[in-house]
Amino acid sequence: MHRIPGVGPATFARLLNQFSSLQALFENPKLAEGISERSRSALLSPDWDQIERDFAWFDAPDRHIVTLHDALYPPLLKEIADPPSLLFVQGEVSLLSQWQLAVVGSRNPSPSGRDNAFEFARFLASGGLSIASGLAMGIDAAAHQGALAGQGKTIAVVGTGLDRVYPAKHRDLAYDIAERGAIVSEFALGTSPRAENFPRRNRLISGLSLGTLVIEAAIQSGSLITARMALEQGREVFAIPGSIHNPLAKGCHRLIREGAKLVETAEDIIEELGAIAGVDSDRFEGSAVSNADLQPEDPDYQVLLACLGYDPIEIDKLIAESGLTAEIVSSMLLLLELDGQVASLSGGRYVRVGR
């Protein structure tokens, strides 16, 4: 049925209501209501060669096909309005039914946004929450990497068939996730990355999760679509605020105005989800984002950091406000950048990075 063109989750559910079983449907396809002639023709003559290739690919210990009525089908996902009739999974299939948090955001984040995604995911995964995201560039990749660094579990929900990796540069990351977590898709093998696939993918990211954390998102961001889907699904939404001058913070600020919980630390999320997920807050050693940066003892560093702040600032302005020479400021910025406390931006600007 999954290979029949024009039969999505809604049509599939309607046909199951009309017929006593799928076998009855295939025996009487002419009686099927509300489907196109193309779909009816495919019911009369399925592409058995393609179906055999599907089964051949999944004939491996770590590859699974999970149907809507399978005991392994994740209970949270079954609660959404249009759960997929099939899930294709590579990796630890039982992980889909464990508690998880979705982490999403910009494909082109700031250095601090990328660090926040990594650190939040690392802390939360180390405490027992699995991290779900979409394997995309930017925040998604950082969240997956952070969960793996925390020796936790992560789930990549993709908008292609499982025999494809998109983007291609994440092939090694996808391999690590399949080895230590799971990759899941509702799309058949051979499905290429098409724009219309990703909103469908996003509803699975939120639908599998107890809540969704948004880290840096522009107003027209796909991450806001995921957040709104989470709200429609009755799930929690969290957002990290940012500078009023950062266009990537505007989407998060809008979510907060609309009722998302403002998040500054990992504990903010654990307060909401810990009791539900059974996560022990004592397992978290501290905040994933802290203002208590490790600072050099030299007073000049204190002066420079005080002038720097968390908004981008040009080096000439830093020199003027700190009263230090250009040579000293340049040297200290380099050392602070190497120490991970400062990030350089385009146009000769610098920004302090939370650690």
Dihedral sign for Cα 271, 241, 143, 131, please: positive
Domains of the chain: 1-46 (no CATH), 93-283 (3.40.50.450), 299-352 (1.10.10.10)
d(CA 227, CA 230): 5
State pLDDT tens for residues 102-126: 999 999 998 888 989 999 999 999 9
pLDDT tens, position by position, 136-176: 999 999 999 999 999 999 999 999 999 999 999 999 999 99
What does the alpha-carbon distance between residue 89 and residue 95 come to, in Å, rounded to a whole number? 10
Q: Residue 199: its pLDDT value, please?
A: 92
Q: Which of 23-32, 48-57, 66-75, 275-284 has the lowest mean pLDDT?
A: 275-284
* pLDDT at position 269: 92
Residues near 284 by beta carbon (within 8 Å), at least 6 away in sequence:
123, 126, 127, 266, 267, 270
pTM, 2 dp: 0.81
pLDDT digits (tens, 9 = 90+) for 284-337: 554 444 433 334 557 888 888 888 877 888 989 999 999 988 888 887 887 787
Using one digit for the tens of pLDDT, what is the confidence trace for 225-281?
999 999 999 999 999 998 888 889 999 999 999 999 999 888 889 888 876 776 656
> DSSP characters for 221-286?
-HHHHHHHHHHHTT-EEEE----TT-GGGHHHHHHHHTTPEE-SSHHHHHHHHHHHHT--GGG--S
- Answer yes or no: are the C-beta atoms of 315 and 329 closer than 8 Å: yes
Residues of the chain with pLDDT > 90, as a percent, come to 53
pLDDT at residue 348 above 90? no
